[in-house]
Chains A and B, each alone.
Chain A
Amino acid sequence: MTALSNGHAANNSSLFKIPPIKFTNLFINGHFVHSLSGNEFETIDPRTGEVIAKISEGRKEDIDVAVKAAREAFDNGPWPRMSGAERAKIMMKWADLIEENLEELAALDAIDAGKLYHLVKVVDIPAVANCLRYYAGAADKIHGEVLKGAREFHAYTLMEPIGVVGHIIPWNFPSTMFAAKVSPSLAAGCTVVLKPAEQTPLSALFFAHLAKQAGIPDGVLNVVPGFGPTAGAAISSHMDIDKVSFTGSTEVGRAIMHAAASSNLKPVSLELGGKSPLLIFDDADVDKAADLALLGILFNKGEICVASSRVFVQEGIYDEFEKKLVEKAKAWVVGDPFDPQSQQGPQVDKNQFEKILSYIEIGKQEGATLLTGGKRVGNKGYYIEPTIFSNVKENMRIAQDEIFGPVLALMKFRTIEEGIKSANNSRYGLAAGIVTKNIDTANTVSRAIRAGIIWINCYFAFGNDIPYGGYKQSGFGRDFGMEGLHKYLQVKSVVTPIYNSPWL
């Protein structure tokens, strides 16, 4: 098909052959099972709005069964009792199996989430294998410390797996988020009940199937597709889950923390929304900066919590930057995610699609200038034009709220101090980008911005060893890196008197 950004319909059927959907049931205790109620829900192809498959719908009673399996696997099973090296070996095998099934997994995410197939294939799925290998390599490197007591005591810390972990993951990066949550918790020796987003249950179920093949013992990994208010709520309020890790919206994050507080006080880590600033200074290469800004908002259709949805440009280059940005946005290719030429697929579902269009209306009503975009693409599926607003004021909703779509708010600033102040003028604090050649500017701004990750002359630079998470209402706790492992560990201090020691 011809993929176009200028309003042509992106509704031709894909040339790509979608693999048959093999796994649609809940994965509990090593087996695929129907939900107890027998209920199912539909997972939709966002290119067309049509049904891909019917998925067993997990609810509270299914979560109970899954937690029971995970509890048993943790309390009496081999997984937490194996050496880290043995867990690593199984995780390495799992990573190999994921690479062997690369194309099928990539197709599942592309069809389920509307993600670009060719990108998922070379980025998302290999990253799952790499993340598993990273944490497999960490499984035998979990060190406690031996402590210098202030008195005649010998003390040390044991880093123990926290227990049964509930993971609730979003639909925008179904595979990446699965890996970011599951890999460190399994390396730590925990067992897992994971709820994928109702929009994108397919890849998680396939991963579970491969986990079993790799030798992950039954009950260690349970995957229960379902909805937030039922299955998600059951996880966050479960009395037998020892820790919940959630990635999603700030509103739902609040509900999860509330449920954890009113149930068993389980610790929670939250990776939530953002309204991340990208500051472009006068000394930047304007062309490169425009590329970065565009990628920052349009990558994954803007459905990424760290999207650079507020772009602040210093006044000296503002006009030139704006011109280039609009040119580049108009050349951006929106189309079928299986078409290798496409740079942007459809939004994940009707809800998101309508929410984004309503924010575009709000932006117009608030008095921002619509430079380009603003409409749906075609008449089928959930495609939206790359959209740029200028003359945006910091208090406008399009500059304050997370839109989670291809909508960029462009603003101008004069001094470095003003840029910092504007960038921090947000209830969020997930990420920020800086484009400058000046080392002092880079250092000052890096330290001044209250966000969990700062990208200098790059954006979306993720790595397995780079911790990632938010300040302020973007959440707390970190995924990735050794920080991402430590949140699945309990610290136990062991203290005993020491007599007649030659040193203290």
Chain B
Amino acid sequence: MASSSTRISRLLSRSSASLFSRGGKGYLGTGFSRYSTATALEEEPIKPAVQVEHTQLLIGGKFVDALSGKTFPTLDPRTGEVIAHVAEGHSEDVDRAVAAARKAFDQGPWPKMTAYERQRILLRAADLLEKHNDELAALETWDNGKPYEQSAQIEIPMLVRLFRYYAGWADKIHGMTVPADGQYHVQTLHEPIGVAGQIIPWNFPLLMFAWKVGPALACGNTIVLKTAEQTPLSALYAAKLFHEAGLPEGVLNVVSGFGPTAGAALASHMDVDKLAFTGSTDTGKVVLELAARSNLKPVTLELGGKSPFIVCEDADVDQAVELAHFALFFNQGQCCCAGSRTYVHEHVYDEFVEKAKARALKRIVGDPFKSGIEQGPQIDSEQFEKILKYIRSGVQSGATLETGGDRLGSKGFYVQPTVFSNVEDGMLIAKEEIFGPVQSILKFKDLDEVIERANNTRYGLAAGVFTKNIDTANTLTRALRVGTVWVNCFDTFDAAIPFGGYKMSGQGREKGEYSLKNYLQVKAVRYV
């Protein structure tokens, strides 16, 4: 299996469609556009080669309607039209799901079976996910708007990889024997924490599913997962495959719904033992408050960011431009770790801005089901409007709009790849998370200055460092107060690498061995 970083770099190189030989289902269009010519967007959207089979809540191993009978529409971001009506979980549905998860944890076979058996079920699930790669990828793209090739060639393979990784952890969760003063024998038992509530975002629906569900299941927990209301479809499909793989009923429950109702019910539930949330910092605060006010459940948060991407004087400018472009525009800019503050050393600044602008102009925007597309529509009208508002703010505050700045086409939520230069630290576009295809380029003089400026944010999720000098790399690596530093690379994710934030970008780490801690209780046992 080629590593996904290899795949990402293939995407990075903007290879021709022929490189994407696998996973395509005949979406070979020729009408993709550079963003400036939006005619292709006026064409009829390509019909995805997948049926929406599951729209109900998945509780206790069965698909059921919401108790209220309510549904909500999930929309195609290419057009704003309805894909399907999905059962809308409310507080009483969350109660039902928690009861199922509680029963599965307290009385069911899952926490009691051997770790080896849990591993086998997770491995079987991974095989099924792999088998249904193309259906999952199509659902993901339809619901989210991300390029199909990205879904089919990066994200679903990574989903499979993550579950195989966590399967391997199931039988390697070790407590310790502990030395103690006096005549004692002490050991620690690492036990599953219980019922985990998990609330995931819409930008990487299935990858976030894997980051949350993988470690929780490997440790023997049961789960109530709330998907984002924008993207409920793929998780329902994936969760069904887990049941086909032999996951006992009640272990993984999926409740579609909205934050203020279903999400809040989960966060404040007295019978949920742990909560994990990925999303905005504002919502993260609410989640933490609800946990504090209810049963003091421990919370892990993976929140927003305004990650610096630092291009040093000695960097290869062409490579840096390409990587900085990727760091910001990947996934329509809808990444919490997007490199949204591009700091460029003054000696290479002008050259960098010119090349960054040229690169953005070449970005291929269009129907995400078309081959070769780099950028699809934003997720929904709310995000779309918010991004356009930030662009106006950038212009008003005096930043130079190098390219882009407007919507693309007249239908759906496409935004032009947008580049600002001469951005100052105090501007809104340099301070707030835009979550869209808007690159802000800032100028710096020396290392100490850029360290101070890069750290001058309430966020601390990630940073990119572009330099050939080992001392510069080491200094920046240690000085940046962020959870991930990428040196001469960006967005390289692997199952084993922990991810999470400093400061108001969150608490706790996901992926890698670190993620297991989130789902384990430690019991110290002391014998006299």
- The answer to whether B527 and A85 touch across the interface, beta carbons within 8 angstroms, is no
A439 B171 Cβ-Cβ under 8 A: no
Contacts of B134-185 to chain A: CB distance below 8 A:
161, 164-165, 167-172, 174, 185
Given contacts A86-B1, A130-B116, A140-B495, contact A498 B478 (CB under 8 A): yes
Verify if A503 is at the interface (C-beta below 8 Å from B): yes
Give the residues from 127 to 186 in chain A that come closer than 8 angstroms, CB to CB, to chain B: 130, 133-134, 136-141, 143, 154
How distant is the Cα of A88 from the Cα of B165 in the complex, in angstroms? 10
Q: Which of B119, B165, B474, B513 contacts A154 (CB 8 A)?
A: B474
Q: Out of B119, B169, B171, B475, name the residue touching A499 (CB < 8 Å).
A: B475
Q: What is the bound-complex CA distance between A501 and B164, given in angstroms?
A: 37
**B520 smallest CB distance to A (angstroms):** 16
A490 contacts chain B at the CB level, 8 A cutoff: no
In the complex with contacts A85-B161, A137-B171, A502-B478 CB distance below 8 A: yes
A140-B495, A141-B169 known; A439-B527 Cβ under 8 A: yes
Q: A486-504: contact bitstring with B at CB < 8 Å (1 yes, 0 no)?
A: 0000000000111111110
A443/B169 contact (C-beta < 8 A), A499-B471, A502-B479 known: no
- Asked if B87 is an interface residue, CB under 8 A from chain A, the answer is no
B119→A140 contact, CB < 8 A: no
Tell me the bound Cα distance from A117 to B146 in angstroms: 56
The answer to whether B119 touches A141 (Cβ under 8 A) is: no
- For residue A89, which residue of chain B has the nearest CB? B1
A50 beta carbon closer than 8 Å to chain B: no
Q: A85-B165, A140-B495 are in contact. Are A482 and B172 (CB under 8 A)?
A: yes
B6 to chain A, nearest CB (A): 10
Interface majority SS (helix, strand, loop, mixed), chain B: helix
Partner of B168, one of A137, A443, A447: A137
Q: Are B172 and A465 in contact (CB under 8 A)?
A: yes
Closest chain A CB from B428 CB (angstroms): 28
Q: Which residue of chain B has the shortest Cβ distance to A143 in the bound complex?
A: B513
Which residues of chain A are within 8 angstroms of B447 by Cβ–Cβ distance?
500
Contacts of B164 in A (CB 8 A): 85, 88-89
Residue pair A499, B474 in contact (C-beta under 8 Å): yes
* Complex CA distance for A355 and B513, rounded to whole angstroms: 50
Q: Tell whether A83 is near chain B: CB-to-CB under 8 Å.
A: yes
> CA–CA, A266 to B71, complex, Å?
68
For residue B165, which residues in chain A have a CB less than 8 angstroms away from its CB? 85, 140
Give the complex CA separation of A89 and B130 in angstroms: 13
Q: Give the nearest-CB partner of A439 in chain B.
A: B527
With A85-B161, A140-B496, A499-B475 already in contact, the answer to whether A443 and B527 are too (CB < 8 A) is: yes
A211 at the A/B interface (Cβ < 8 Å)?
no
Instruction: Indicate if A199 sits at the interface (CB-CB under 8 A).
Output: no
Q: How far is the CA of A88 from the CA of B164 in the complex (A)?
A: 9
Decide if A216 is an interface residue (CB 8 Å cutoff). Answer: no
Q: Give chain B residues whose Cβ lies under 8 Å from the Cβ of A154.
A: 474, 478
Q: Assuming the A-B contacts A83-B3, A85-B161, A439-B527, are A140 and B168 also in contact, with contact meaning beta carbons closer than 8 angstroms in the complex? A: yes
Tell whether A247 is near chain B: CB-to-CB under 8 Å. no
1/0 contact string of A432-449 vs chain B (CB within 8 Å): 000000010001000100
- Please give 9 more A-B residue pairs, beta carbons under 8 A apart, in addition to A141-B513, A464-B116: A85-B165, A86-B1, A139-B168, A140-B168, A140-B495, A141-B172, A496-B470, A498-B478, A502-B478
List, sorted by A's number, 30 A–B pairs whose CB atoms are closer than 8 Å.
A85-B3, A85-B164, A85-B165, A85-B495, A86-B1, A89-B164, A133-B116, A136-B168, A137-B168, A137-B169, A139-B168, A140-B165, A140-B495, A140-B496, A141-B168, A141-B172, A141-B513, A154-B474, A154-B478, A443-B527, A447-B185, A482-B174, A496-B470, A496-B474, A499-B471, A499-B474, A500-B479, A501-B474, A501-B478, A501-B479
